[in-house]
Structure 1
Amino acid sequence: MTVWARRLPSVTMNFEDTGLYRDITDFAHDTPNWVQHGAGIWTEAGLLVFAGLFATAWWRARRGSPRAFAIAALAPLATAVAYVCSEVLKSAVAEERPCRAVAGAAASLAACPPHGDWSFPSNHATIAGAAAVSLAVVRRALLWLTAPLALLMAFSRVFVGVHYPHDVIAGLALGTLVALVAARLGRSPMTRLAGAMRTSPAPAVRWVLGPGPACVPSYETHARR
């Protein structure tokens, strides 16, 4: 009796999630072709948008303080760590993709990944969650841009039929958690490293890290001149 009581919530949740997956994929097939094509493009191209935001944050941070540069540099690193965590969890859970497991569901708009490319959690949603949060740590106002992009990325994975809703929710949560932990633990050592490396004699290293804040002559310096 106890075993059945423990299994029942899990079975019920899985049933409800499968039903929501069906509803979303059915809705996807009822949308205009341009919406379907747009979702298919965004579900992959969205990663390039986050990459562009990382590059912009890095470029702006080259003329910032070592701490500002460290925070900007941590953003892609935290996202990469989140992706690795997602892959490890995928291998441990080994959940089949809904486009293969849900009988009678509408055909996925995107190609169903092969068997062994597991479903839980969503790598795309994990990357999107980590990127959105870590970029917001770089500049808080960016959250108004990155959060909707991450949510849209997560939803698109269900919309095109390659993930369950719980896959993308877990991915967003995992990415957010890893990004916050990375920012908390990595900020100080990365700041020290950036400050030390800016004195490197190697031109390539100095170019990557940038010159730091521009030296503004003080009033006393002008007076002596």
Structure 2
Amino acid sequence: MGTIDSDLYRDILEFAHDTPSWFQDLMEVWTELGLLLFAVLFVAAWWRARRGDPRALAVAVLAPLGTAVAYVASELIKSGIDEERPCRAVAGALPSLIDCPVYGDWSFPSNHSTIGAAAAVGLALAWPKIGWLTVPMAILMAFSRVFVGVHYPHDVAAGLLLGTLVAFLVVGLCARPGARVTVAMRGSGNGLVRWFAGPGTGGSETGAAYASGRGAHRR
């Protein structure tokens, strides 16, 4: 592992040990609490989009789907690179603030950072006005993984990049067919399916335009 990255890891961990215990506890909790908050925002974005046009609902549903795809991608990369955790590999570093993950739970890339970035970007695409909230949430989640001592800085940087790319790809590739599926769901004879898709806005003309592909790029 590069000396610069290891030195930065040591510096951040030393800073972490110098912070008050309540702040350490807060950062430890945030590494997991952030995931729960993203899940709540996924539900809120879906509920909000139920009264939007078909593409809006499609993107809202694709946000958690893209996050799941990003997580799987990060796990596949982990299994191929086998990078040891810095809490075991960096000589002279202070102890991590939380237990070092077991051997075989590799370090690169950070799953939390990947999930956080994919969720943040997916939510921002589905609900642009909350991008100011979701992006800092993802960055703070990524930093917290180095702060508590279980990831290198490059692990979280790679995770943020991976999650961002996957989110954009999933939405970019699937928004148009997703809008068509939404139109079909809103016209379904199944009440539960119609409830999930919501009433939408714009009437039958808008729905027909999306179904034919002419409204796929409307926002």
State the TM-score, normalizing by the size of structure 2. 0.90
CA distance in structure 1 between the partners assigned to 2:167 and 2:87 by the alignment: 30
SS of match in other structure, 1:185: helix
User: Is the deviation greater in 123-132 or in 97-106?
Assistant: 97-106
Partner of 2:155: 167
CA distance in structure 2 between the partners assigned to 1:180 and 1:67 by the alignment: 15
CA distance in structure 1 between the partners assigned to 2:19 and 2:185 by the alignment: 52
SS of match in other structure, 2:99: coil
CA distance in structure 2 between the partners assigned to 1:21 and 1:82 by the alignment: 25
Q: Letter of the aligned partner of 2:74 in structure 1? A: S
CA distance in structure 2 between the partners assigned to 1:51 and 1:106 by the alignment: 33
Matches within 5 A, 1:37-186: 37-186=25-174
Partner of 1:212: 200
Gaps of 5+ in 2: 204-219
User: 1:96, 1:119 within 8 Å by CA — same for their partners in 2?
Assistant: yes
User: Is the deviation greater in 168-177 or in 196-205?
Assistant: 196-205
Q: CA deviation at 1:104?
A: 2.3
Match 2:176 to one of 188, 199, 205: 188
Q: CA deviation at 1:214?
A: 7.3
Q: CA deviation at 1:101?
A: 1.1
User: 1:39, 1:156 within 8 Å by CA — same for their partners in 2?
Assistant: yes
Q: CA deviation at 1:109?
A: 0.8
Gaps of 5+ in 1: 1-10, 216-225
Q: Letter of the aligned partner of 1:171 in structure 2? A: G
Q: Number of residues paired by the alignment? A: 203
CA distance in structure 2 between the partners assigned to 1:57 and 1:163 by the alignment: 31
User: 1:63, 1:214 within 8 Å by CA — same for their partners in 2?
Assistant: no
Q: CA deviation at 1:213?
A: 2.1
Q: Letter of the aligned partner of 1:114 in structure 2? A: V
Aligned identity (percent) is 63
SS of match in other structure, 1:64: coil
Q: Letter of the aligned partner of 1:163 in structure 2? A: H
Query: What root-mean-square deviation, in Å, do the aligned CA atoms of Structure 1 and Structure 2 show?
Result: 1.1
Partner of 2:213: none
Partner of 1:223: none
Q: CA deviation at 1:106?
A: 0.9
SS of match in other structure, 2:200: coil
1:200 aligns with 2:188: yes
CA distance in structure 1 between the partners assigned to 2:114 and 2:16 by the alignment: 22
1:30 aligns with 2:18: yes
CA distance in structure 1 between the partners assigned to 2:139 and 2:193 by the alignment: 36
